[in-house]
Each structure stands twice: as C-alpha cells, then as structure tokens.
Amino acid sequence: MTCRIALLFGALFFASPSTARNLGVKKTSTRVPPVLAPNCRNVQISLGNVSATNFDYRGIWEDHSDMDFNSWRDTMKVFYSCLDPENFVHDIPSDSYGLVVERNVTIHGIFCEPEVPVPYNERQIHLLIHDLTYDKSMWHGLGLPQYSLADALASGLKGSHTLAVDLWGHGDSHGETYPDPWQVLQPPFHVKTLHEIVKRLRRNQQGLWSAFENVTFVGHGFGAQLGALLLDEYPNDVNVFVGSGFPTGKLSRPYPTEWRLVPSISTDSKYAHQPLGYFAGELNSAADRENILYGGLYDLELAELDFVSQDTIAVGEVCWSGSFFSDMSIPEDSKFTGQVCVLAGEFDRVACGDLPWQVEGEACREKLQEVCNFTFPNSHLCNISVLEHTGKAWMLHKLGPQAISTIRSWSARGNSWGNLCTVLTPGAVRY
C-alpha cells in the first residue's frame, strides 16, 4: 500500500474547544439501535487474526520528551493538527512505516436478504462502509426505516443482499477492550480487515450466507477512502465501487476549530472505557455537526438524532498519511477495472467546499472527475454525480427517501437490482 506521510513537529496547531477540559459524562447512553426489517438480522463475522503494517506513531515521538501519549493536551495538539493538512511540512522517516500489528477480529454487521428470493446466478451484495463518527446504522437510517438504504436495496423483484458493518474499533466491533487508537486504528489495518470480509463474501459462510459472485463496495467519507485503498492493493476484490464524500484536499473545507471534537470519554457514558485518542463531538456541539455535515434540504430532527447517536474517530485514522483530509490519502493509478461511481452532495463541505452551488458546483464536478482520472484511470466506466440539495451526509437528507423510492420502484419492476452506481446518476434521483 502506497503511503505518503508528512507531519509538522514544531508548533503544532492547537484549537481548544470551549469544553475541552469538561470531564463530565452524560448519565444516559445515547446509542440508537437500528430498527431492522424482517429480512435483516445482526451478524458477527469472525475473521481470526488480522495483521497489517501500520505507522509507528509512538516510535516517532520517542525522541520528543515533551510528547505524552497520556496527556489530554498533547493528544489534542496532534489530533487538531491532523484536521488541517496545511500543517504537515516535514517528512517522517520511512522506517517508521513498519509497525506490524496483529489482532483477533470479530466484525459486527447487519445482513439483509432480498425480500423476494433471487436465482443463485443473480446473487448480488452491497458491502456498506460507514464514515468516521458513524457506524453501520447510518445505512439503516440511524434507526429510521424511511431513511434505510440497506432496506431499499434488498427490496422488490431484483433485490440485492446487503451487509453494513462496523469498522474495527467502531460501533459494536471492538472486542473486550477497545483497540489502540494510535497504533492499531489506521487505514492499513482497516483495509486488511475489509479484504478478509470480502474473501468471506466470495465463499459460502455456513449459517451466514452463500457465496456471492458480484460484490458492490459502497463507502462514504472515510469508508470511501478505505475502499479506494482496498482496490489499490486488491484490485480484484469487488466488481463495482461506489464512493461518496471523498475529502478532496484542494477545495474549501471546515476549519479545524469548527469540528469541536474532544476526547470521547468526556462526552457520553457509552465511551467511558475508550482510551485517550478516541474523539467525539463535545456536549454542546450539535449545531457544529449540523453545520459541517448537513446542507440544503433535511429534517432538523434527523440532524439532532445524528448528533446524539454519533460514533467516534481515532487519532491514527485522522493522522495517517498526514491528514485524512489531504488528497495524499487517496491512492494513485489503481489497477481496478470495474465500474466506479464517485458522488458528493453539492453542499458537502469536505468534498465540494462550502460556497453556494452556483459558485462551487462545477468546481466540485471537476474535482470528482480528477478523482476518477487520478485514482481509477483503468476503470471501464467512472460515473460522476453531484447530488443537489444535500450536504455531506446525503443519505440522511431529503434526498435519502427519494433515492429509496427510486430504488424500490426500479427493483419492484424488475428493471434493476438497485446498484447505487445506476440509481445515483444525474437526473435519476431528484427532490
């Protein structure tokens, strides 16, 4: 896996949110379990030992006596520096990229079968990978069926199987103790884990599913980046790739101070056992999360549900490759030859900038085309779509139910098995 890493060792950018030192924990957990359709069920996928070559953060700072991994302030310094790619100017020694980590991994997910059984030779599956600060429930409408893309994809005469998983260290996928947020929770380890999941999708898993010949990878935000990295290393893993909300690195993005993220242990009792290095939105940052992830047409109540049900983000995930907002975190010249679909909401402040559609729309489209040309030059078809009236979390906007309606109507007629690369093309879904 190609990795370009740079980091500023000097005066790290440090933004201190207003309640950064508020150690009070909410009294009641805000976990919102998805409401599952009758054809869906929770599953556990035992992957056994997964190993990957990660980046040795602790080794980097061995010679820096002022760096304390148990210090709230130092952890905040590093984390917020990684939210701003412009701060990364010094190369990190190449020998630091050689930390082999191995963990026994069991991934939790939601598996849905088609409402109407399909012939074996038409068995398709969508593998759904969430963004950071989300978990698998984002594909099930955060518990609201009318926003559940996973349910819609499994509907009608041409329904697809779906599998929405929690990445390792997120949602329910964390084992008895949470993984190290510095050394373990990095993209290389996530990619190896996803590769193991795909291998199991390709063969019969007694008690879970039969083998699938056609696998569509659907990733949003960080999940899309992981998918691109997966196909860079394993170009034959999936048949179709759908990536939305790619951080583009060159357009306007939220400033680090807007995120108002603090160590998760200070935000909710459900994170009381997480080590320092996991972050979540601070207690009073609901409006900030809405400002960053929403735009256009959406229900305010859903944005509020989004905030209270938020998951976490780890230092190793943000800082790998310098910053996950940098375009350096997207691989170059993938050998993947399958169909690609690259999407973004027109008000996606990470992928499209934060100016009005009339100003930034064409620039966003051009940037998505650059992603196709740069990352997937060998794809036989790369579709691009800028989704109107939506922000970054487009599936949780008014467009979400409209996309679901389109998927269901097409699938009910038997005209399409609901491939999101087909459904989310310009003009196919409108609000």
Q: What would the DSSP string read from start to end of 238-253?
A: -SEEEEES---SSS--
CATH 3.40.50.1820 fits 41-423, yes or no: yes
The tokens describing 106, both together, are 């069991």
Torsion of CA 147, 305, 288, 350, to 10 degrees: -30
Helix axes 300-308, 286-293, angle to 10 degrees: 110
The total of other beta-carbon atoms located within 10 Å of residue 280's CB is: 24
What is the model's pTM? 0.90
CA 274 → CA 178, 209, 269, distances in Å?
6, 33, 10
Strands 214-220 and 240-244 come out as parallel
Percent of the chain with pLDDT over 90: 50
Question: Which residue has tokens 């020998």?
Answer: 95
Mean of pLDDT values over 119-134: 90
pLDDT at 240 over 60: yes
Lowest-pLDDT range, 54-58, 166-170, 177-181, 388-392?
A: 54-58
What's the confidence (pLDDT) of residue 33? 64
Q: Cα–Cα distance between 38 and 54 in angstroms, integer?
A: 40
User: What residues does each domain of the chain span?
Assistant: 41-423
CA 156, 159, 161, 165 torsion-angle sign: negative
83: left (phi over 0), alpha (psi -120 to 50) or beta: alpha
Residue-wise pLDDT for 326-352, tens only, equals 666 788 899 999 999 999 998 898 888
Q: What is the mean pLDDT of residues 158-171?
A: 94
Is pLDDT above 50 for 8?
no
Work out the average pLDDT over 45-66: 82
- The larger pLDDT score, comparing residue 268 to residue 279, is at 279
User: Hey, what's the torsion of the CAs at 347, 349, 351, 357, to 10 degrees?
Assistant: 30
pLDDT, greater one: 116 or 323: 116
